[in-house]
Every structure is written in C-alpha cells, then in structure tokens.
Amino acid sequence: MDNNITKQYAEYKEGKTDRRSFLKKLTITAGSSAAAYALLPLLEAADGIHLNQDDNEIVSQFVNYPAPKMEIRGFLAHPKKGGKFPTVVVIHENRGLQPHIQDVAKRFAREGFLSLERYNAQAAKLSWDRTVSFFKDKLK
C-alpha cells in the first residue's frame, strides 16, 4: 500500500487528525471518494490484526442476549478488574461491526467503561431497556 496512505492512516489513528480530515486526504490520495471508501475497510482490517491482542487489562468478547422473538449479538468490552462500570453504547456506521468499531469499544474499556456494540439489523427497533436489563449487573 502507498506509504502516503499508511502515513495518513497512522496520523488519524494517533489522533493527530480527525476522521473527516483523514477521509478528505485519503480521497485526494486515492483519486476518488469511491476508492477512499474501498480502502478504508482494508486499512481498518490491517490495523485490526494487531489491535492490542495481548491486552491484559480488559475483557472483550462477542455476546448474545435474548430479546423478544430474537437473540441479539453484540460486542462487549470492559476492564478486567472491578465490578460495575459506567457504560457506553457504541453505535456502528452502516457497514456493521468492523475492526475499527471493536477497537473503539476496547478503547472505552481501557478507560474504565463497559462498552457494548449491538450488532443486529432488528436490534435498532428494540428498546434500550432490554439491553440495559440484560447487563445491569455490570452497569454502574
């Protein structure tokens, strides 16, 4: 992959540039917005391969929990130590649960939060009360 693209992505991941600016630069470098958006999942997936896999401070996993007429799948991350945590619900963009979204959930966990990303097309229609009730033993 072009070194310029890799450098731009590294600056974005390090917080030196915001997502909008990064995507604008990537669009110019790639030649079109279609090419930039085609590259984005590749960059995120490549980054996801080495996302702090040895992080001993957090627990992250896919979970399933019941809801009326279905089961909802989600990605849950929280600190290893402690009992109840302040909570963040991570909402993914229209491409679903990508490595980038898993990384966002893990970053919140590293900061002391329980983070949940619900992944199910039908889940958006359900009340958040159902989600909260399932995880209430971990919520602060």
Where exactly are the structural domains of the chain? 3-48, 58-135
Q: What is the mean pLDDT of residues 78-96?
A: 83
Pairing of strands 70-79, 114-119: antiparallel
CB atoms within 10 A of CB 55: 14
Task: Say which residue, 49 or 136, is predicted with more confidence.
Answer: 136
Torsion of the alpha carbons at 118, 119, 120 and 121, rounded to the nearest 10: 100
Beta carbons of 84 and 90 less than 8 angstroms apart = no
Please list the residues that pair with 67 across neighbouring strands. Answer: 70
pLDDT band at residue 77 using 50, 70 and 90 as cut-offs: very high
pLDDT band at residue 49 using 50, 70 and 90 as cut-offs: very low
